[in-house]
Amino acid sequence: MVNCCGLVTVKNEPVPLKSIAVEVSVQGHVATVSSTLQYENQEQSPLEAIFVFPLPGEAAVCRFSAKIGQTEVVAEVQEKQKAQEQYDDALSSGQQAFLLEESDESPDVFKLSVGSLPPGEKASVSLDYVTELAVQADDGLRLCLPAVLNPRYQPQGSDSGSGGSAQVSSVPAGSVPYSLSLSAHVSSPHPISRVESNCPLDPLNYLNTEKTQATVSLAAGHQFDRDVELLLYYQDTHQPTAIVEAAQASAKPGSLMGDPVVMLSLYPEFPKDVMSSMTSHGEFLFVVDRSGSMECPMHLGSGSLDRISSARETLLLLLKSLPMGCYFNIIGFGSSYESFFPKSVEYSQKTMDEALQKVKEMRADLGGTEILQPLKHIYSQPCLPDQPRQLFLFTDGEVGNTKEVLDLVKTNAGSHRCFSFGIGEGASTALISGVAKQARGHAQFITGQDRMQPKVMQSLRFALQPAVVDISVKWNVPKEVSVTLLSPPIRVVFQGQRALLYAQLTGESSGDTEGSVTVKYSLAKQPVENQLSFSLKPAEDTGMAVHRLGARTLIQSLEVEEREQDGEKEGAKEKVIELSVQSGVSSAFTAFIAVHKGDGEALQGQLLRRHVPTPMLNLRGCSLTGFSSSVLERDMKLSELDDRADQLVCSASEFVVGTKSMSAKKKAEGSLASRVKGFFSKQLQGGFFSKQGACEVLECDEDCDEDFDSPAPTSKPVRDPLLQLISLQKASGSWVLEAALAEVLVKTEEEVSKPKPAQVDQEVWATVLALVWLYGFKMEAQEEWQFLAMKAVSWIQAQKVASVSECVQAGNTLLGCQVQKDTLGL
């Protein structure tokens, strides 16, 4: 069996990373995450281990240390070039050194270099970061520990080998040779209701009777083969809070770390009458990833749809849920992009039918993941008067030019809102969360066995509801104290969205020990006002999480400013470096460097380099048809092909084992490896990955064609009756009395027609039946069909039907339900 450890040499030496232990401390809406990585050099020569790994996009790395034997070395933050030079100098003189740096292209990817580890030596590396917890649509707070790092696709023409772009070593999920343990301590001003996870957990342990403190751990033996997600639920989550954190005792007063910092959390709850109101205006643009990886399954469990099929179903639901009078368009993208219509069209029965036909034909056939060009195209189109632009972005991709994409979205933020959806394990948090944050929208992640449709409809609900606008924040503090905002001002808040604002408090009051903040905003044209008090003399520091997140927020704003200046002025970059060094928070222009000044001898000869793998999505279950070279890092230098092919051999061999008809099962390891490497070399030079070429190199049997496209024999899928009913609804919201509707209701046409009240139109009767069926049999999926039902009710009311009660009663009798007219909204 081919060794799947993903090392860069063909000899398959052991991986030096042995385990990762994580401790999480949650305080309300923010968390501090401490990871310890254990390394061991089991080889005969000194080595350098390179581990490229993801962190949440909003994370701020704030501490980095290393322990060799009994000696601990704490890293310093330095300007990146200076840190890299110091690292190289230390290695050449035989000293152990550690370098942690952020990728030049994406702020959620870090590279850790553990250098000059002598034979037989052990080292442990500790990394701390602070992060805001994202709010989910059900009020849960999401903490994600990313494990899967998919190759970042480099757009054509970009220099993928420049700067800090680190090579990603990946192996199939399940083959990582190191394990993960995780424990969390949760503390909240409000009682903790429950903690959930996509991985097995030990029972939640409350530490006090008020249930405001608790601990929870991952069940033992977890393989770090997928993103680990914790969902925390508190009581009274919609109460606004203002938390003040004391200054760092050792820092200079007047500096960011030397002054108290306040964090304001705004998470308003919308009244029910506002929640039920729906706008009929808007330009809805659905931007859908059609790269080759969208053919991969949504999850590795049985019965999983592939991602593109799930996207097709979701688009059906969205198109049926749009209000009459709005405008829409659908844009598919990969290496190129295609629009359904030259420009946005008015929503009508004709345009909806035309779009649905194109959705049925939509495939994952557009190659790589180039998101910048379709966005530029969209922003070049003028906005429509009185039709606010709403952008829905669906992607499973990880792009190498994340910062460029975010800058483009920020530049155009005033013209639209963006709702983004990260599909599958390893989707880039920096990209998905970043575009939503820049464009005042909302981000969602669809992982494991999550269904895409409910999450997308939650975001549509935000898009169709009025937002909190005209937000003003007024600080009431003594005249000796000044308030400096660290965050951009809050411009808009949606239902289900939380906004955090950081501010520095400089100066000391001789008398008052309390300040307050007044937050005013407008919701559905109604003014709302909240006043919160906070202490000007808070307790001593509790880990400095609030300070560091405030510093991270300011650093991100300054980094964008520097990129907009395109290096013409040094001001923003210098401020970032100064702030990063002072706060100990990572940035694009700094790195953490630790050197163990032992009695090592100058290095003789070449230092062995080992790339520690991260999990990647298994090729098994993905159709190789049209598998784009983006997935195989088309723009990678061919000189690095041998390194990458070792990992791909692992995936190919697993694919072979799982495919019944390949004679390659019987082939020796070395033969398979050489054939696969030769094939990838040819394919990468040609810039594509063809099924025919794969069949030739893997010596498939004659019936391989079927196996490549579908790993298991499939019968004709049974259509979900809910999707059938949805597909039959007209754009206006009504249903027609027809055989297809009777089939969904499990009745004959005659059985459906006969009980219709005499004075009622057939279309009204069919629409009432559809509503009764939805409320009677599909309440568990109400999030998905609520807008369809609202459209149907509005349509019935517009018909001014006198005998609605009689219709509902007859519908209940026919379908065996007990749905009340009031429940339907009639």
CATH number at residue 110: 2.60.40.1730
407 and 545 within one domain = no
Instruction: Report the amino acid identity of residue 181.
Output: S
- Asked if 32 contacts 24 with a C-beta cutoff of 8 angstroms, the reply is yes
Q: Distance from CA of residue 649 to its chain's centroid? A: 29
Give me 807's structure tokens. Answer: 């219709």
- Which pLDDT belongs to residue 79? 93
Helix (H) / strand (E) containing 438: helix 429-438
For the chain, what is the total number of helices (H) and then of strands (E)?
Answer: 21, 34
The reply to whether 79 and 114 lie within a common domain is yes
What CATH number should be reported for the domain holding residue 301?
Answer: 3.40.50.410
pLDDT-wise least confident of 103-112, 585-594, 640-649, 728-737: 640-649
Q: Are strands 608-612 and 47-54 parallel, antiparallel or unpaired?
A: parallel
Domain count for the chain: 5
Residue at token pair 């003594």: 478
744 and 700 housed in the same domain: no
Share above pLDDT 90 across residues of the chain, in percent, rounded to a whole number: 23
Which tokens belong to 221? Answer: 């033996």
Q: What confidence tens digit (pLDDT) does each residue in 392-416 have? A: 999 887 677 888 888 899 888 878 8
Say whether pTM exceeds 0.75: no
Task: Tell me the average pLDDT across 558-566.
Answer: 74
Does one domain contain both 189 and 301? Answer: no
Q: Is 35 helix (H, G, I), strand (E, B) or coil?
A: strand
Query: Per-residue pLDDT tens for 226-260?
Result: 678 899 999 887 777 788 888 988 889 899 999 99
Residue length of the chain: 826
Six-digit token pair at 687? Answer: 């810039």
Distance (Å, whole) CA 566 – CA 588: 14
Domain of 538, CATH number, reads: 2.60.40.1230
Q: Which of 684, 709, 734 is the last residue of a domain?
A: 709
Residues 6+ apart with CB under 8 A from 690: 683
- The reply to whether 315 and 459 lie within a common domain is yes
What is the DSSP code (8-state) at residue 301?
S
Domain containing 565 equals 241-273+468-579
**423 and 549 share a domain?**
no
Q: CA 765, CA 804: separation in Å to the nearest integer?
A: 9
* Residue of 732, 102, 743, 725 lying closest to 402 (CA atoms): 102
Sort 221 into a burial class: Cβ within 10 Å, 0-12 / 13-18 / 19+: exposed
Where among 551, 579, 607 does a domain terminate?
Answer: 579
Distance CA(29)–CA(499), nearest Å, equals 11
Q: Are 438 and 115 in contact (CB under 8 A)?
A: no
Structure confidence at residue 506 as a pLDDT band (50, 70, 90): very high
Mean pLDDT of 775-788: 87
Instruction: Say whether both 340 and 295 belong to one domain.
Output: yes
> Do 193 and 248 sit in the same domain of this protein?
no
Single out the residue in 436, 464, 492 at which a domain terminates: 464
Q: 8 lies in a domain?
A: no
Instruction: Supply the pLDDT for residue 355.
Output: 95
Same domain, 355 and 455: yes
User: What pLDDT, in 10s, does the model give residues 357-380?
Assistant: 999 999 988 888 788 999 999 999
- pLDDT, one tens digit per residue, over 41-52 is 777 777 777 767
Whether residue 691 sits in one domain with residue 725: no
Q: Residue 532: pLDDT band by 50, 70, 90 thresholds?
A: confident
Q: At what angle do helices 452-464 and 307-321 cross, to 10 degrees?
A: 30
573 and 646 housed in the same domain? no
